[in-house]
């Protein structure tokens, strides 16, 4: 026989179950108003853009220098902020891991790195604390510069030059921004964007070759030729096989084969008629 106590218990369970969606909706965070498309860099619009060589920076030693002082070899630019709760550290650590796998080009000899803060509140103290997490090899120390812009009012101007957009989210107390490595030529012009977490050491190696703009030694010519087998795919954000090149080479091979075949048949025919 069903007791009143059991009925009361059953009724309480039903009320609890029905109320679950209401509670879930009540405690759910409001979806972000930030359109993710604002973080997508329209790469073609920024190819060849040159950063201001007179831009004044302050490095990890507290030394002032100008961006133009880095001219002379390709630079990998990494926009970061030094009070980041983990993503910026992870992105810089990933860059380190990728470059360790690129065996044909060496940091210091073929390229250099600049991690530059886009947070106007960053200073020498936050920079040094951020840098300790990377544990760079001693031979990398001189070629990987960490810096912030001396004049904070120029931060937005300079980031926009590279297509890099960022927003501060008060609710999360963090910046939202793209995680990207910007490849610069020896004279400071943008040559390519390599996205963190979606590219591998092959993409990085090809981007570094591209940033060198034909400045190769004889023993590096083979790497350059191999690089021609790939082209940058803007839709995928990575290097893929250069299909038009292979199609063109295939058509050329077929054309040459047909020409040689025709010549051989012609000579064979003439030889028979002569005999």
Q: Is residue 20 part of a domain?
A: no
Q: What is the pLDDT of residues 187-230, one digit of tens each?
A: 999 999 999 888 888 889 999 999 987 665 544 544 555 545 65
Six token digits for residue 228: 């021609």
Q: What is the pLDDT of residues 99-142, one digit of tens each?
A: 999 988 899 999 999 999 999 999 999 999 999 888 899 999 99
My answer on whether 270 and 151 are in the same domain is no
* Confidence bin at 264 (pLDDT 50/70/90): low
My answer on whether 152 and 253 are in the same domain is no
Q: Is residue 3 part of a domain?
A: no
Q: Is residue 215 part of a domain?
A: yes
The DSSP bridge partners found for residue 167 are: 176
Average pLDDT, the chain: 78
Range of the domain at 254: 242-275
Would you say 274 and 264 are in contact if contact means Cβ atoms under 8 Å apart?
Answer: no
CATH of the domain at 234: 3.40.30.10
Q: Is residue 102 part of a domain?
A: yes
Six token digits for residue 16: 């609890």
My answer on whether 202 and 149 are in the same domain is yes
Q: Is residue 72 part of a domain?
A: yes
Domain count, the chain: 2
Q: Which of 100, 238, 109 is nearest to 181 (CA)?
A: 238
Q: Does the structure show a pLDDT above 70 at 255?
A: no
CA distance 55 to 154: 9
């Amino acid at each position: 026989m069903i007791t009143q106590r059991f009925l009361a218990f059953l009724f309480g369970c039903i009320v609890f179950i029905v109320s679950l969606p209401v509670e879930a909706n009540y405690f759910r965070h409001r979806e972000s108003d930030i359109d993710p498309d604002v973080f997508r860099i329209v790469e073609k619009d920024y190819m060849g853009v040159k950063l201001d060589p007179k831009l004044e920076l302050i490095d990890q030693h507290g030394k002032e220098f100008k961006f133009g002082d880095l001219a002379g070899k390709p630079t990998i630019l990494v926009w970061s902020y030094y009070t980041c709760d983990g993503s910026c550290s992870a992105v810089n650590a990933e860059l380190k891991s990728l470059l360790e796998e690129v065996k044909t080009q060496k940091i210091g000899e073929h390229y250099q790195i600049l991690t530059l803060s886009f947070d106007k509140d960053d200073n020498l103290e936050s920079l040094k604390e951020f840098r300790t997490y990377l544990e760079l090899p001693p031979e990398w120390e001189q070629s990987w510069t960490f810096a912030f812009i001396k004049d904070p009012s120029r931060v937005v101007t300079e980031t926009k030059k590279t297509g890099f957009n960022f927003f501060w989210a008060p609710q999360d107390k963090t910046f939202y921004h793209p995680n990207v490595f910007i490849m610069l030529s020896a004279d400071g012009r943008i040559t390519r964007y390599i996205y963190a977490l979606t590219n591998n050491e092959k993409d990085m190696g090809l981007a570094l070759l591209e940033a060198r703009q034909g400045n190769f030694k004889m023993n590096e010519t083979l790497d350059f030729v191999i690089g021609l087998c790939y082209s940058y795919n803007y839709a995928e954000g990575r290097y893929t096989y250069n299909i038009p090149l292979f199609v063109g080479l295939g058509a050329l091979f077929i054309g040459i084969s047909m020409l040689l075949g025709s010549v051989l048949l012609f000579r064979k025919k003439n030889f028979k008629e002569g005999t």
